[in-house]
Structure 1
Amino acid sequence: MDFGYEECSSKSHRGGQLYQIRVADLHPTQSAVGLDEVYAKAEAMRKKSEDELTAYLITRPVPIVIGNDNKFCLTDHHHQARAVWEAAKKKNEAGIDQGNARVVVEVLYNWSVLKDYEFWKAMQGNGWVYLFDSQGGGPRQPASLPKHIKDLRNDPYRGLAWYVRSHFGYSKRPADFAEFQWAQFFRMRLILDNRLLRNEIEGVDILLSEMKEEDRNAIVEEAIALARSPEAAGLPGYSGFVSRG
């Protein structure tokens, strides 16, 4: 896969120029994704022709920061990058594989001169690293972050947050890790864990997309009600509680 852009390197710089990079060379700055969202995106990508997928990815450049030791650190769009990797696993209309799967990137900063502590302090200060694991535990050390996009774990509550937003339970807002804020909100209310305790699901590391439709709908409806309640006020994209009384 080739977008016709210069290949990103340790000498690339910010300034509006777009580069291309292999998905395999990207370094995550979070430990988890919602695989429900990833798999839905990947399935849509598999149906796109090469020209369609190229146009889609060019209009959605992935922001990165360049660190030392040639680390190309994602600051956003982990789900998109993982979806490209997943799409390349199987037969797809664009003919990409995991060896040539690429995305378009925009370099926010080249901080390759910064060493570990200084680099991660700057990343944390800009809200570009999320040091919590797939169960919401943390903060963890930056060294615990996955080394490859394929190693991102599934956070089922992040998947639930995506379902709720897709059903207009809240709106997308440009806030730091907004979807994870919603995931933690739902996690603290044990929406999935309560079903685990009642033996209604096999485990907490689940995919809502693999549930029976009626079970999935019940969970999403419960979460939407919570998302619209006063308890969620202050979260990014909160739509408010609408009373019909």
Structure 2
Amino acid sequence: MASLPVHLRAVAIDDLHPTQLTLGLQEVARRAKKMMALGEQEVDALFRRKPVPCAQGPGGQLYLVDHHHLCRAALVAGYKQVYLDLDRMIDHSRLDARAFWEVMEQEGYCWPIDADGNRRPFARIPSHVRDLTDNPWRTLARSVRGPAFRDDDETPFKEFMWGEYFRSFMSKRLIETDLDLARELAIKLAQLDEAQDLPGYMGAKPKD
């Protein structure tokens, strides 16, 4: 393996703590399948292209700011470490636990909302990505990113925000029984005025 650039450092996934309660397990499975079809050098190149941004919390513990799905998929594919992006490291190590979580949420780096849209105490956030539960609304939002809302918007947790919006209009059963129909409906819902405050909103498409 080639030597690492100065802004990267290998880190065990076991040492990375989540900042959210859920993720989209379908997306995890898709990413893991792609990783398992690659050679080790290709996976290493993938991890170098997508280093994980983290925040240092109390005691110097590392908390994921992004790439929860990547880390979970890496575990499923049999990989135990990824690369830490030192250039994007946020230092909140001097804060106590309560202040840390409050600041993280204020900065948009924490999503303490479960799959049913209920806010949970920060203490309910699992300590490991393997314990994050499925959020089908996050899966739906990710599957329509691009057609429904802009792919280039970097707002943290934007797929969760869009997932919450879609959840207010359709049932979980629809996603489970007919994902294609749910996707078609989500794209139409994304064009409504009600979605205009969401990140990446594109508005209604012009009629032919």
Scaled by the length of structure 1, the TM-score of the pair is 0.76
Task: Give percent identity, aligned residues only.
Answer: 34
Which residue, 179, 191, 195 being the options, matches 1:232?
Answer: 195
Residue of structure 2 in register with 1:104 after alignment: 83
Greater share of helix:
2
Where does 1:198-213 land on structure 2 (aligned, <5 Å)? 208=176, 211=177
Secondary structure at the aligned position of 2:111 is classed as coil
AA aligned opposite 1:106: D
1:133 aligns with 2:123: no
Deviation at 1:176, TM superposition (A): 2.6
Measured in 2, the distance between the counterparts of 1:122 and 1:235 equals 22
Measured in 2, the distance between the counterparts of 1:87 and 1:4 equals 23
Secondary structure at the aligned position of 2:204 is classed as coil
Measured in 2, the distance between the counterparts of 1:74 and 1:82 equals 12
Deviation at 1:231, TM superposition (A): 2.5
AA aligned opposite 2:113: F
Contact 1:3 1:20 survives alignment (8 Å):
no
Measured in 1, the distance between the counterparts of 2:50 and 2:179 equals 30
Residue of structure 1 in register with 2:103 after alignment: 122
Contact 1:3 1:104 survives alignment (8 Å):
no
Which residue, 65, 72, 93 being the options, matches 2:55?
Answer: 65
Measured in 1, the distance between the counterparts of 2:84 and 2:97 equals 23
Residues 32-88 of structure 1: CA distance to partner in whole angstroms, max 9, x if unpaired?
011121111111111111110001110111001122244210011111111111211
Unmatched runs of 5 consecutive residues or more in structure 2: none
AA aligned opposite 1:157: W
Deviation at 1:170, TM superposition (A): 1.5
Residue of structure 1 in register with 2:140 after alignment: 160
Q: CA RMSD in A?
A: 2.2
Secondary structure at the aligned position of 2:55 is classed as strand
Deviation at 1:122, TM superposition (A): 2.3
Scaled by the length of structure 2, the TM-score of the pair is 0.89
Deviation at 1:4, TM superposition (A): 5.2
Residues 8-46 of structure 1: CA distance to partner in whole angstroms, max 9, x if unpaired?
xxxxxxxx7321111122100000011121111111111
Measured in 2, the distance between the counterparts of 1:231 and 1:121 equals 28
**Superposed structure 1 runs of 4+ greater than 4 Å apart:** 2-6
Secondary structure at the aligned position of 2:144 is classed as helix
Measured in 1, the distance between the counterparts of 2:163 and 2:14 equals 27
Secondary structure at the aligned position of 1:62 is classed as coil
Measured in 2, the distance between the counterparts of 1:240 and 1:113 equals 43
1:222 aligns with 2:185: yes
Cα distance 1:223–1:3, how it changes in 2: closer, same or farther (>3 A)? farther
Measured in 2, the distance between the counterparts of 1:82 and 1:55 equals 17
Measured in 2, the distance between the counterparts of 1:154 and 1:3 equals 36
Measured in 2, the distance between the counterparts of 1:20 and 1:34 equals 25
Residue of structure 2 in register with 1:92 after alignment: none
Contact 1:66 1:72 survives alignment (8 Å):
yes
- Structure with higher Rg: it is 1
Residue of structure 2 in register with 1:48 after alignment: 38
Contact 1:20 1:105 survives alignment (8 Å):
yes
Cα distance 1:105–1:188, how it changes in 2: closer, same or farther (>3 A)? same
Residues 150-190 of structure 1: CA distance to partner in whole angstroms, max 9, x if unpaired?
00111111111011116x2222211131111100100111x
Cα distance 1:72–1:4, how it changes in 2: closer, same or farther (>3 A)? farther
